[in-house]
Amino acid sequence: MHDDISETSQIAKQLPHSNIDHAIAGAVSGFVTRFTCQPLDVIKIRFQLQVEPIADHYISKYRSITQACALIVKEEGVSALWKGHVPAQLLSVVYGTGKFSSYNLISKLANDYTFHDRWHHLLHFLAGAGAGIFATIVSFPFDTVRTRLVAQSSNHRVYQGILHCGIEIVRTETPRTFFRGLWPTLLQIAPHSGLQFACYAFFTDVYNQYTHHSGHNFATSMIAGSAAGLVAKTAVYPLDLARKRLQIQGFEHGRKGFGKFFRCNGLVDCVCVIIKTEGLRGLFKGLWPSQLKAAATTALHFTTYEQALILFNSFR
Record: fold of 10-311: Mitochondrial carrier fold (1.50.40)
List pLDDT tens digits, range 52-109. Answer: 888 876 778 888 889 999 999 998 889 888 877 787 788 888 888 888 888 888 887 7
As a whole number of angstroms, the distance between CA 126 and CA 109 comes to 12
pLDDT digits (tens, 9 = 90+) for 227-283: 998 999 898 898 888 888 888 888 777 677 777 888 888 889 999 999 999 999 889
Q: Tens of pLDDT along 145-181? A: 888 887 777 677 888 888 999 999 999 888 998 998 8
CB-count exposure of residue 15 (10 Å: 0-12, 13-18, 19+): middle
Whether pLDDT at 1 is above 60: no
- Non-local (6+) Cβ contacts of 74 within 8 A are none
**pLDDT value at residue 216:** 62
Q: What is the pLDDT of residues 257-267, one digit of tens each?
A: 777 888 888 88
Q: Please spell the DSSP secondary structure of 210-273, one letter per residue.
A: HHT--S--HHHHHHHHHHHHHHHHHHHHHHHHHHHHHHTTT-GGG-TTSSSPP--SHHHHHHHH
Query: pLDDT class for 132, splitting at 50, 70, 90?
Result: very high
pTM: 0.67
Q: Is the pLDDT reported for residue 12 higher than 60? A: no
